[in-house]
Chain A
């Protein structure tokens, strides 16, 4: 058990970071703080992916240019896995685009309701329905 955890300590810490983000996401009524919790959760997932591609003793996945030129690539050279880097690179940019989308919705909600606390928003919706007599 201890040995298992010792070999996967990084993953365990990243899982705790993910749960911290999830807690921040749920334990608030403020929509901006909820987006912050989502960002923390998202960044922790990125960390999980990247840490899986790490190889001890490996170099960053950039080949030496002169070896490509001379066609003398070293097949035994050790590199970290480039595939998670590619996936997460694009995911980060998509993440900021979706964050902007969510924040735009929050700003519109503030303009329509005058508040961004979800209890107040639900109450406003509910009182509107009561007025209509639904």
Chain B
């Protein structure tokens, strides 16, 4: 347990900051560089750092594989659902103007982009976590001496 003590302490301090930065990048994307794709990767990177330093079992406890599986599908579903909502209200697919009555100030567009970006964030985060689980879950067949 004493091994990598500095890494563990630094990671414990860093991981919350990485999460906050990820959410900042996501929610500030309209005013500054950033967006759901980048934020998703940063959030997934926080989980990857946690898994690399504290072990895969701890990471699987924090974000269980079933959550990654559900999140992938849910994010893509949210994106498509926004499109179908505007279709149901009689507009074109993914035309966000129907989502809010205040068309003059493009509030519907604001709302649509926020909803769609939540879907993107969910899919990208969980897909990258799932890919990491898939690769890290296998034990290497090569012995350490071959290094």
A residues whose Cβ falls under 8 Å from a Cβ of B:
60, 62, 65, 89-90, 92-93, 96-97, 100, 103-104, 107, 110-111
Q: Which one of A60, A65, A90, A100 has the greatest number of beta carbons of chain B within 10 Å?
A: A100
Query: Are A90 and B37 neighbours in the complex by a CB distance under 8 Å?
Result: yes
Query: Are A107 and B37 neighbours in the complex by a CB distance under 8 Å?
Result: no
A and B contact pairs by CB, cutoff 8 A, 21 listed: A62-B32, A62-B33, A89-B35, A89-B37, A90-B37, A93-B37, A93-B40, A93-B41, A93-B124, A96-B41, A96-B128, A97-B131, A100-B131, A100-B135, A103-B135, A104-B131, A104-B134, A104-B135, A107-B135, A107-B138, A111-B141
Q: Which residue of chain A has the shortest Cβ distance to B131 in the bound complex?
A: A100
Q: Which one of B131, B134, B138, B141 has the greatest number of beta carbons of chain A within 10 Å?
A: B131
- Interface size for B (C-beta < 8 A) is 15
Q: Which residue of chain B has the shortest Cβ distance to A61 in the bound complex?
A: B33
Extra pairs beyond A62-B32, A89-B37, A100-B131 (15, CB < 8 Å): A62-B31, A62-B33, A65-B31, A89-B35, A93-B40, A93-B41, A93-B124, A97-B127, A97-B131, A104-B131, A104-B134, A104-B135, A107-B135, A110-B141, A111-B141
| Residues from chain B with Cβ under 8 Å of A107 in the complex | 135, 138
- Nearest-Cβ distance from residue A30 to partner chain B, whole angstroms: 14
Inter-chain contact total with CB atoms closer than 8 Å: 27
A78 to B31, CA, bound (A): 18
- A60 and B37 in contact, given A93-B124, A100-B131, A107-B138 (Cβ under 8 angstroms): no
